Every structure is written in structure tokens, then in C-alpha cells.
Amino acid sequence: MPDQLIDAHQHFWKFDPIRDSWITDDMAVIQRDFFPNDLKPLLKHHNIKGCVAVQADQSEVENVFLLSLADQEDFIMGVVGWIDLQAEDVGEKLAKYKEHKELKGFRHILQGEKQRDFMLRPSFLSGINKLNQFNYTYDILIFHDQLKFTEEFVKKFPNQPFVIDHIAKPYIKDKKIDEWKQDMNAIAKYENVSCKISGMVTEADWKNWKHGDFRPYLDVVVEAFGMRRIMYGSDWPVCLVAASYDNMFSIVRDYFSTFSAAEQNMFFGDNAIKFYNL
């Protein structure tokens, strides 16, 4: 395995049943607090040097929370926060956030928006347009039904670094792949768009998934994006609804085991370091 492993996608939270209502009763295993001391031994076990903590709540209070953890723990190498990209003063706020070197980019929970093409709102586009001047990345969190709008979205910003979270959440449980594959191939043509190989187990059969269930989807992503635009993410602790951290890691470790050392270095660390400027 590479020397410099990075988990490019995980979360921390102090569980609030009202704020975190997306964590339903069938996800009871994650209806509790998750802090750095819970993750640290898991990363150490796999010789993972550091991680990127990604927002789970759409508030600037979330930024304060994650940045405070990053200040306390060196292994939290970057934070992907949240900001109201539709706000008139978004530029001023982005400028102020440059005081925090651990803040690398932003994300909006587009997957939860009733308006499926929310990303194409003029006010939202206006906010995205300001990210690049401050060297911020943007994580695209969508379900696969939103991929058809995503190509139009990324096309507008050829210089903005984008990364698709969780391979855009295809229907792995139902083994649906054709439409998702077509849309992913279209988006991968844009060189400023990367893809996180993360979050797959939550889209599979939680109780009965097998490593082989993911291989067709991994094949598509690797072929479409190439080795320089993919990165590893655990999606811990959300992954715990379907798999332990060890289980999640074993899926990608086994898949990439036949790849060259240089290719494994790119996927497991180098690409995330470069993308997020860790």
C-alpha cells in the first residue's frame, strides 16, 4: 500500500435528532456522536495519514465546529464546509474564510433539494462563480437522477475544481448501471471534474452486498476519469449502516491491488492532496 494514504471524505457530528433527521431509525447505528477519537484508531490501523472532514449540516456553525476539530487534530488535514452560495454577500464571506487554511472548499446537499436542477439556479451559479478566485474546491453531492443537469453545471465553470461525491449514488442495489454510466462518461470529459470512490455501500443491499457488486461501477469510474482524477473516501461514519470501516476499505484495497504502485499512490493519496491542496 502507498505510504501517504488520505481518506478524502468522512464526517464528524454531535448527534441532534432534530437537526440530523436524515439519520432515520433504520440508521440507528449512527444515531450518536462521532468525534476524532472515534476515527483516529481506524485510520491508524490502515496507516492512513490524514482525512478531509466534510460538512453534514448546512450551516456556518458547522464550519466553526469542523475547523475547531481541525485545529485540535493534525490528522484532519482539510475541511469541506458549507456557505449560502445564493447570498448577496457570499464573496465577502469567502474572503473572510481565507483566514482558515484548513478550509479547502464547500458543499451543498443538492441530493436533498426538491428542485432537482437546483444547481442551475442563477443565484447558485453566481456563488459558484466566486469560488475559484479564492481557490476553493466544490464537492458535488447528488443522486444519479441529477447527473443530467450536472454536465450543464460543470460546463459553465471550466476552471473550477469539482469533485463528484460517492460516484453520484447509482442504484447498486438494483444493479442499474446503463443510464448512470452514460451520464458519468459525459461528465468525465471535463478535465476539471474528479470523482470520489466513496459511499458505495450505502447504495447497495445493506445486509447482503458482496465485493463483486461494486466492480462494474468501479470499472466505469476508473475508465471514465482515469487514475489522476479519482480519490478514496470512506464516508465514515455513514458507511456504518452497511459496513465497518475495515469492510469499506477492503473493497477498494482489493479492487486496486493489481494496479501499479504509482496508480495506487494516486488513488489512495496523491490525488486528494493535489485536489484539496493538503
Note the pLDDT of residue 210.
96
For range 64-92, the mean pLDDT: 98
How does residue 138 score in pLDDT terms, banded at 50, 70 and 90? very high
pLDDT of 4 > 90? The answer is no
pLDDT digits (tens, 9 = 90+) for 47-68: 999 999 999 999 999 999 999 9
pLDDT digits (tens, 9 = 90+) for 241-275: 999 999 999 999 999 999 999 999 999 999 999 99
Note the pLDDT of residue 91.
96
Q: Where are the beta strands (DSSP E) in 95-253?
A: 103-108, 137-140, 162-164, 193-197, 230-232
User: Among 20-29, 35-44, 175-184, which stretch is predicted with the lowest mean pLDDT?
Assistant: 20-29
Strand order through the sheet with 230-232 = 5-10, 48-54, 76-81, 103-108, 137-140, 162-164, 193-197, 230-232
List, as one string, the DSSP characters of 204-221: S-TTT--GGGTHHHHHHH
- CA separation for the pair 276, 271 (Å, rounded): 8
Nearest C-alpha neighbor of 220 from the set 193, 198, 188, 192 = 188
For range 172-190, the mean pLDDT: 97
Note the pLDDT of residue 19.
93
- CA separation for the pair 6, 201 (Å, rounded): 19
pLDDT of 76 > 80? The answer is yes
pLDDT of 1 > 70? The answer is no
For range 224-229, the mean pLDDT: 98
